Amino acid sequence: MKKIQYIAIAALMLFTTVSCNDEFMEKRPLDKINDGYYWKSVNDLKLYVNNLYNRNDLLARDDGWATMGPHGWDATDGSDTEIYFKYNTRLNGENTIPDNGNGWGTSDWEALRDINYFLDNYKKVEETAGEEAVKQYVGEALFFRAIFYFGKLKRYGDLPLSATTVTPTSEILYQNRSPRNEVVDFIMNDLDKAVNYLPARGSGSWNGRVTKETAMALQARIALYEGTWEKYHANDNFKAAVNQSAQFLEKAAKVSGDLITLSGTNGYPALVGVGAENGYRDLFNQPNYDSNKEVIFYRKYLTGASTNHWSGYSYCSGGRGASKNLIDSYLKLDGTPVAPGYDDATLLKAAEGRDPRLEQTIQINDGKHYVWEQANPKRYFIAPIFDGWDGDESALTGYSIYKGHNFRYTNSGDYSDVRNGLLYFRYGEVLLIYAEAKAELGTITQADLDKSINKLRERVGMPNMTTSVAIDPNFEFANLSPVIQAIRRERKVELACEGFRSDDIMRWAAAGELIAGKIPVGAKLAQWQGFKFSEQPLGESEVGRQEAFEGRIAGLVTDANGYIKPFKNTLNGGTEGYKFNVNRDYLYPIPTNQLTLNPDLKQNPGGN
């Protein structure tokens, strides 16, 4: 490992001019810290770390760039399973090399500077009686540093590394980036310490702070991400300098397995809503999860104080719709796949006899899916709201997203007042990590499936998965084992519309199979041609709804089979599909001004 890995970092070689460089470096993190009076008590540490919880580049978004939700802008801006009202330009290969900024500008590294400043100074506190409390806040800072680096890793791959604050004379400002496998070693080391230092939640209610279980969930997520990235990118331009895929997959299996053991011992974390009619649906539409055993970490909604814009969790889809690709992935109630060309002429037909997670994920016009339960009279879903320019209230595909919609109100309220808690880690993801890591290692057993995938299926009443998976005509990958493909499908369905899919495609090196050349489609359009709201038993009273609906229907186009093409002709003329470049677009380019300041950084593949 390079000498520079554990020396200084923070704002790095990111700044637009050298003079700006020095000025920025000389600022104290948080800007109001007076070292002469600070670092005296454990409470000082708590107050400092509290600011990290409030940083938008750590918790509101994890990649230090303009994002919505906890998984980044790309996660909510479309994939093969979820379509935004504008197509995702990254998936279409439209990223260009920026002159500056783009996630690598001065402000994009301030969180790291603040974290490292804390870790450089916390030992000044002399309260011996508060040793355990000191450990807790150090653990929280290490957790946040891991989140910061993970976001940058996903965006850029190799990164500058350090465990202390940078000064204007730090040599790391003029060095190259550390290889991604070393970056993840660094992250794993931070999280090993965080897991050791942080208190467990155990059987109590959540207190709003990072816990041992939270750090374990993050560590398992990152280890799986990097283990599969290094495995599936082993022979392309994005490979790690040293392939440590097996090591990281073993770490993912170990940590997620430890959480499963904790669940069996302490009853936390655990799945909720098992056997309930809408147990899966109701996991995603609550304002408060303090006592929820499945939700390991979330951002609480507080009126006027802590709101969020995770627009996937809002009325009528939040400008996003599910794709036919996602709908086709849900198994039938008997555990077998749907046949190619199955009857999906209407929303009701598409959901008929399918995995219950389907009708708990998208809106169905069955007289049971609420729009607003407390309205008078109650309002139920009747038909999608088309047209992207309705933004928050549209689903261009016709498959409106129901998952995450809190319908227990009289109306939608203000867009800035989304009333759901914002989920970051839940136990269901941990079970999927365990199963995937074991399958990728080639060591998965029926017992492994029974304590992971089959727990998720049990919640919704689906048959168990076995290690003897039959070949499925809907499998997406020609050269992978049926077990791995079935686990990937389970992840696709269980985590649908939660923001994971884009990262999954990138770490599996799967854009060639799933994105390049693909034209996304939605539901059959014919079911809404000639549709009359007045003829529906749940007819609506909004003035002008019928006329607006007909105008929008007339503006939609379909493919040869009658499925809605949500981007009409805007995506490469509507005939070529996405132009994702598998030799370039798995990572973002480094801004040119940073390469000018430090040529040793080197550009990412395809960015020359």
| pLDDT value of position 542 | 57
Instruction: Give the Cα separation of 5 and 2 in Å (integer).
Output: 6
CA-only gyration radius of the chain, Å? 24
Is this prediction's pTM over 0.85?
yes
Cβ atoms of 158 and 180 within 8 Å: the answer is: yes
| pLDDT value of position 69 | 47
Question: For the structural domain made of 1-65+102-179, what CATH number should be given?
Answer: 1.25.40
**Environment class of 411 (CB within 10 Å of its CB; exposed 0-12, middle 13-18, buried 19+):** exposed
| pLDDT value of position 128 | 65
| pLDDT value of position 172 | 61
Which residue intervals of 4-130 are DSSP H helices? 18-26, 42-53, 73-76, 110-121
| pLDDT value of position 413 | 61
What pLDDT, in 10s, does the model give residues 337-346? 999 999 999 9
Instruction: Give the Cα separation of 184 and 187 in Å (integer).
Output: 5
Instruction: Give the Cα separation of 239 and 582 in Å (integer).
Output: 13
Below-50 pLDDT ranges, the chain: 1-26, 61-69, 73, 307-313, 390-392, 415-416
Element (H, E) at 194: helix 180-197
| pLDDT value of position 240 | 98
| pLDDT value of position 16 | 28
Element (H, E) at 164: strand 164-165
| pLDDT value of position 7 | 27
The number of CA neighbours under 13 Å toward the Cβ of 24 is: 23
**Range 448-468 burial, b when 16+ CB lie within 10 A, else e:** bbebbbbbbbebbebeebeee
Cβ atoms of 500 and 224 within 8 Å: the answer is: no
As annotated, the residues of the chain forming the CATH 1.25.40.390 domain(s) are 199-304+421-498
Element (H, E) at 425: strand 422-426
Domain 199-304+421-498 has CATH 1.25.40.390: yes
| 98-99-102 Cα angle (round to 5) | 50
Residue 522 structure tokens: 């939605």
Residue 228 structure tokens: 């599969």
| pLDDT value of position 133 | 87
Instruction: Give the Cα separation of 472 and 339 in Å (integer).
Output: 9
Cβ atoms of 505 and 511 within 8 Å: the answer is: yes
| pLDDT value of position 306 | 52
